[in-house]
């Protein structure tokens, strides 16, 4: 059965991006754009004549190549986060099934337990006494069921692309990881066992609230009102005993608002700002990869109480 046209387009883009990433392809040589400062450079240039950035081995150049795999103009970080959450849900389901669970309707909202803990759920004693700090990051990619995953991914696709376009992919990834990790840090301090992307998503909402407080106009006032209403409803539901982690939500929201106030709500404008943004983005990316690696290394550790 042939793929739908839209997916065929995505597949061709990914193939093209992978060929460029590994130096393949048969495209004709053409002038390049410096990823650090945006200047037009020669076909055979290896260093930008304006800012001096290395066009092959700098963080800016590598970021451009990696982002191309997910679509340079289609919110690559948001796409990567969506894929990572879907992949981790698949891993969680297979792990739960291998442990003898995951049957019936439990896939909708009931994939917790020891397997989720092994895959990196946030838990206060493990983090503060076991020094398993990687759980603050891995917990962002775990969900308790399809319903939990579905709501969070809809929110990600609603807020993510616009903020990624506004701040740039690198700073957007940094905002997502920091607010999500801080949310779980506060939640863990109160001894909660928690998973889900909602702490980071509330961080994005906090960033948007900060933007609306810095910009005027009727649209910003309306957007702020709608965001506040949504947040109030979410916290009311959290206090109603529906199993939501208000600590992670609240901390993510506050940290997002603070970072939104500190960060200029625009793309980096010069070479220095781009270098800083790329450094923050790569730091966040390395933290994610390292956390997932530590989760794999500690997967077979005894469960608490064993």
Catalytic residues: 198, 249
Tokens 């709608």 sit at which residue?
226
Picking from 93, 90, 87, 86, the residue whose alpha carbon sits closest to that of residue 110 is: 93
Which residues, at least 6 apart from 303, have a Cβ–Cβ distance to it below 8 Å? 114, 117, 118
> Do 186 and 250 contact (CB within 8 A), yes or no?
yes
Q: What is the CA radius of gyration of the chain?
A: 21
């Amino acid at each position: 059965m042939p793929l739908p046209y839209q997916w065929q387009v995505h597949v061709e883009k990914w193939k093209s991006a992978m060929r460029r990433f590994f130096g393949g392809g048969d495209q004709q040589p053409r002038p390049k754009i410096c990823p650090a400062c945006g200047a037009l450079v020669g076909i055979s240039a290896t260093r930008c004549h304006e800012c001096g950035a290395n066009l092959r081995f700098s963080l800016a150049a590598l970021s451009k190549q990696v982002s191309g795999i997910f679509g340079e103009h289609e919110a690559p970080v948001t796409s990567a986060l969506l894929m990572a959450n879907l992949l981790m849900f698949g891993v969680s389901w297979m792990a739960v099934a291998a442990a003898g669970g995951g049957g019936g309707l439990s896939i909708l909202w009931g994939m917790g337990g020891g397997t989720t803990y092994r895959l990196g759920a946030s838990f206060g004693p493990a983090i503060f006494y076991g020094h398993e700090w990687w759980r603050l990051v891995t917990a962002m990619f775990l969900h308790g069921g399809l319903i939990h995953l579905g709501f969070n991914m809809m929110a990600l696709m609603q807020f993510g692309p616009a903020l990624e376009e506004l701040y740039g992919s690198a700073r957007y990834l940094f905002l997502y990881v920091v607010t999500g990790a801080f949310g779980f840090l506060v939640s863990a301090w109160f001894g909660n066992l928690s998973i889900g992307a909602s702490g980071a998503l509330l961080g994005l909402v906090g960033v948007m609230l900060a933007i609306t407080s810095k910009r005027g106009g009727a649209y910003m006032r309306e957007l702020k009102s709608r965001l506040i209403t949504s947040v109030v409803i979410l916290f009311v539901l959290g206090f109603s005993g529906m199993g939501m982690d208000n600590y992670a939500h609240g901390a993510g929201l506050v940290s997002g608002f603070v970072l939104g106030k500190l960060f200029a709500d625009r793309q980096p404008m010069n070479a220095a700002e781009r270098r800083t943004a790329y450094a923050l983005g790569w730091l966040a990316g390395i933290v994610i990869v390292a956390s997932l690696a530590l989760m794999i290394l500690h997967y077979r550790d005894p469960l608490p109480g064993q």
